[in-house]
Every structure is written in structure tokens, then in C-alpha cells.
Amino acid sequence: MRKLLLGFTLALSLTCLYAQTPAAAPPAAAPPPVAAPAATPLTDADLKNIPTPKAEDRAKGDPDGGLTGNVSDIAVADPITDKTPKAKGLTLGDMANQVGQNKIAINFVWTLITGFMVMFMQAGFAIVETGLCRAKNANHTMMMNFMVYGTGLLAYWICGFALQMGGVGALGNLGGTPPLVNEFAITLFGKPFGLWGQTGFFLMHKGTYDVGVMVIFLFQMVFMDTALTIVTGSAAERWKFTAFLLSSFILGAFTYPIFANWAWGGGWLANLGANFGLGHGYSDFAGSGVVHAVGGLSALALGLIVGPRIGKFNRDGKPNAIPGHDITYVLLGCFILAFGWFGFNPGSTLGASGNGGLRIGSVAVNTMLAGMTGSFGAMFYMWMRYGKPDASMTGNGLLAGLVAITAPSGFVNPVASGIIGVIAGVLVCLSVEFVERTMKVDDPVGAISVHGVNGIWGVIAVGLFADGKSNYGGSWNGVNGSVTGLFYGDAGQLVAQLVGVSTLLGFVFVMTMVLNLILDMVVKQRSPAKDELEGLDIPEIGSLAYPEFQLK
């Protein structure tokens, strides 16, 4: 059986490698020149004679949709009415304004709906984590995943959003967002280093009560909440609920927004290309680093601080398996997360119209491919190593592939996506073993490996596999051209990505570690041993998740 699986994996790898090899295609012949017809300038007068459906026809209904939506639906600045017969009526200016508003409306709707999908990922995380925990902690784990939404939202509304996006500048896809222009920056090595934004506190500060700002707030907020909910997995089954609330608030208010500002809010990491000639600066399309590595490294910090669950390790350090109570929850949750990822990655274009928005299809396909190869990578690894295709690790392989493709999804081709995913699937298995057996850190759901390790892998993958074919309005992070990785000729991009990785390890991890150690001194983060042995449902929440079942 193992030889058969090995052979299958080898064949898959060779297929991927062959497909990755660029074909030596002859240059396409230039099309023969065609004489353009003489253009007749359009005037306002031409707009007066556009036919509209008759009122009596409209009154009969429109079952085939042929009458609904026509020139009479265009907003007119100076309409002709009985009282204003000499008004201009429909003009070319009205038409142009309507086209512009349609573009922004498409982008608003796209960004909002994908944001709603990302919000639904909270449900996926909740049941994945609850399923991987024991039944005696199910209510506590579910409650943490439920309230992390509200806690994160409160923190982000008060100050997190302002610190992250207050100085992002113009977001053209969302109509410009002109109020978000105040970035606090210092000068280092003769260049400006943006550190945090200063506009948007409570969404009322300095003109941020604005339609475009509301859209970007919602979208960025659900991303931030994803990072927060990752931490609840690694500290599950022994984290005091009060400590969880305070720790999550701090992460949503300060730690996450600071790094997100550096990467997405116009901060210094995004400008490594413009200021230091490192490719297009740190490029993280949808957040392998910003969301997942921040969440995963915070999960590592909390895992260290709260320590392992009682019974996880023997006195000689040998780990014991503590199986979750519902694998159906786990795999259903993985499916919900995979669905939500179609909002996470394609939504990060912040629009479907203009500035490369049509790459949403490519981003979505890259996402699904990496998830698929990630699940295969983990399943075959476990099958070959332990003799069975472990269900929870196969689910984690899917998530690892999705995490890893999150940063590169907008910059790479489908074959690269498959390779990134399969590496992630194997990497998550190796990492889980390393975290448990070598580091002796207890991570009940594998959050450190799925999100931390594979988030970092995704960031690096941009610097390797970005193919230089993406075009989001002609430039990225203020540098003309497309993001291009080492394999396609730009080693500087890889350096920019590695600076981002170093910042995640050396700054984000340190910041979350220090803040949580201070919190640990104020309110002890770990629950008492008696409560842990009993299960946290009753001591912490006051009721069992499954009151009619006999719990061990």
C-alpha cells in the first residue's frame, strides 16, 4: 500500500513539475492593421431620442426582464419636468457619472458580500475548534468563538481600524476613501517609515462617516476577527474566559492593527519596494502573514503562557493523544471555512470592476486548487507514515493549503497554487509533530502549524512563485509593473517577503508575548486545575454543552 501511495505522490509531483516548465512557444504574429472607422462624436442631443418602454407595456409586467433597466433609470442632474420644461435633461455628464457610480457600486457589493462570507468563517472556526476539544469543554470553546466576534469588533471600532487604515490613502476601487490620509511616520535610513494610522476612531473621526470607509471597515474587521479566533484554538480547554476576553481585545485593538498597517495600511513594509528597491515591497494579497501568521504566532505565545493541558504530557515528556469529541464537526467546519475562503481571497481585490478586478476568477481557482492539494498532501503523508488517512489532519491539510495560498493567490498561476498547497499539506503534518514532540507545546487544534507555519510559508511563496502576470491598475504598492518572484527573475521580492517574515517573528510574536505576560500577571490566564479536570463548561460558563450526556 505504501509503495502504491508513494508512486501516486511521485507521479503527481512529476506532473506538477512538467506543467510548471514554461513551453517554448513561438512569438505570436502581429495582427494586420485594420483601418478604424471615422468616429462621430456623441452629443447630448443624441441622448434625447433613445427609446424607452411605454408606460402601458411596463404596466403589464416584465416576465423576461427585457424592459426593466433602461435609460429612464439613469440619475439626471437637471431633469425635465412640467415645471422645468427648459431643463437640460439627460446629458453625457449624467451618463458618465452613472458609469462611474456603477463601477463603485459593483465593487461595494462585491467587497461587502465577500466580507459577509468571511464573517461566516467564524462559524467554521467555532465548530472545528469545538469538535477537536473534549465534550466537557464544548460550551466554553463555543462561547469563546462566539464572543471573539463581538470583542474583536468592539476593539477594532474603537481604535484598531484607525491604527490600521487611518493612513492608507486612496482606495480607488472603493471611490477613493479620501478621509483616510493621516499616517504617523518617522524617518529611518533617510526614508519615511509609516507606523500607524491616525484617522477613523469610532468611525466618526475626521470625516470617516463615509460610504467607502464603511465598506473597507467591514471587510477589514472580519479579517481581523479571523486572526483573533485562531488563538482560541491553541489555548482551548484551559484558558480562563476573562483572560480570553482581555487578550482578544488587546490583539484586536493594537497588535493586529499595527502589523496590518505596515503591510496593508500604507506602512513601511508595503513601501520596501518604493523606498529600498525590494520588488514591490512586502506583498500579502489576502493575509497569509497579516491574518494567519499573526494569529498563529499569537497562538504560539498563548500556548506557551497557559502551558499544556493536564495529562497531555507524561513525566518523561512523551505526548498523549487527547482526541476531540466530534470529527463530524471538524470536517463540516473545514468545508464552511473553505467556502468562506472564496470571500477571503477573491474579495481582497476590493472590487470586481477596474484595476485588475477581473482576476477574481483566477484568485478563486487558485484558492480551491491549493486547498485540494493541501488536503491530498496531508492525507497521503499521514497514510504513509501511520497507515491510515487521518481525518482531522486531512482537514488541517485543506486549511493549511488555503492559508498558504492566501498571500500568493493574486499573484501566481494555477500550477504554482497546486505546488504551494501540497507543500503546505505536508508541512502542517511535520509542524504538528515538531510542535508537540520537540517543543512540547500543547495545541489542541493545530492552530500554530496551520496558521502560523503555513502563514509564513505563504508569505515566502509570493517571493518565489509570483509570475509577474497580475496587473492591478498598473502598479502594486506604488511600484510600476506586476509582483514577480525569484523563480521569475526578481530576488528583491523574496527579500521583501523575508523582511515581513522577520517582522512577524521578531516583532509581532514579541509584542503579543509581552502584552500577554503582563496580562498574565494581572489576571492569571490559566484556569485552576480543579476546573480543568472537571471541564470548563460549568466552572466558567455555568452550563454544559450536552447536559443529557454522561461525560468522562
Contacting residues toward another protein, per CB under 8 A: 188-189, 272, 276, 278, 300, 304, 307-308, 310, 312-315, 317, 439-441, 491-492, 494-495, 498-499, 501-503, 505-507, 509-510, 513-514, 517
CB of 387 to another protein, least distance (A): 28
Contact status, residue 419 vs residue 20, Cβ threshold 8 Å: yes
Q: Which is nearer to another protein, 118 or 508 (CB)?
A: 508
Residues 6+ apart with CB under 8 A from 81: 87
List the grid coordinates of 357. 478586478
Contact status, residue 295 vs residue 230, Cβ threshold 8 Å: yes
CB of 268 to another protein, least distance (A): 9
Q: Which is nearer to another protein, 170 or 517 (CB)?
A: 517
CA atoms of 68 and 399, how far apart (whole Å): 43
Q: Which is nearer to another protein, 120 or 276 (CB)?
A: 276
CB of 463 to another protein, least distance (A): 10
What stretch of H or E contains 8? helix 2-20
Q: Which is nearer to another protein, 106 or 499 (CB)?
A: 499
What stretch of H or E contains 429? helix 414-433
Residue with cell 475626521: 206
Burial profile 50-71: b = 16 or more Cβ within 10 angstroms, e = fewer: eeeeeeeeeeeeeeeeeeeeee
Burial profile 325-341: b = 16 or more Cβ within 10 angstroms, e = fewer: bbeebbbbbbebbbebb
Q: Is 185 helix (H, G, I), strand (E, B) or coil?
A: strand
CB of 43 to another protein, least distance (A): 55
Q: CA 42, 48, 49, 51 torsion: positive or negative? A: positive
Return the ∠ at Cα 126 (arms to 121 and 128), rounded to 5°. Answer: 95
Q: Which is nearer to another protein, 118 or 464 (CB)?
A: 464
CB of 385 to another protein, least distance (A): 23
CB of 439 to another protein, least distance (A): 5
Q: Which is nearer to another protein, 337 or 495 (CB)?
A: 495
Q: Is 49 helix (H, G, I), strand (E, B) or coil?
A: helix
At 88, the amino acid letter reads K
Helix, strand, coil tally for the chain in percent (to 5): 60, 5, 35
CB of 478 to another protein, least distance (A): 16
CB of 462 to another protein, least distance (A): 15
Query: What does the DSSP 8-state code read for residue 333?
Result: H
List the grid coordinates of 4. 502504491
Residue with cell 506586476: 482
C-alpha neighbours within 13 Å on the C-beta side of residue 137 = 31
Q: Which is nearer to another protein, 356 or 463 (CB)?
A: 463
Q: Which is nearer to another protein, 154 or 505 (CB)?
A: 505
CB of 208 to another protein, least distance (A): 31
**DSSP states of 193-237:** EEEEE-S-GGGTGGG---HHHHHHHHHHHHHHHHHHHHHHHHTTT
CA atoms of 463 and 271, how far apart (whole Å): 15
Q: Is 551 helix (H, G, I), strand (E, B) or coil?
A: coil
Contact status, residue 229 vs residue 143, Cβ threshold 8 Å: no
Q: Which is nearer to another protein, 432 or 501 (CB)?
A: 501
CB of 341 to another protein, least distance (A): 27
CB of 304 to another protein, least distance (A): 5
CB of 308 to another protein, least distance (A): 6
Q: Which is nearer to another protein, 279 or 418 (CB)?
A: 279
Q: Which is nearer to another protein, 10 or 517 (CB)?
A: 517
Q: Which is nearer to another protein, 203 or 505 (CB)?
A: 505
Contact status, residue 281 vs residue 271, Cβ threshold 8 Å: yes
φ and ψ at residue 490, rounded to 5 degrees: -120, 95
List the grid coordinates of 83. 415645471
Q: Which is nearer to another protein, 94 or 532 (CB)?
A: 532
CB of 282 to another protein, least distance (A): 12
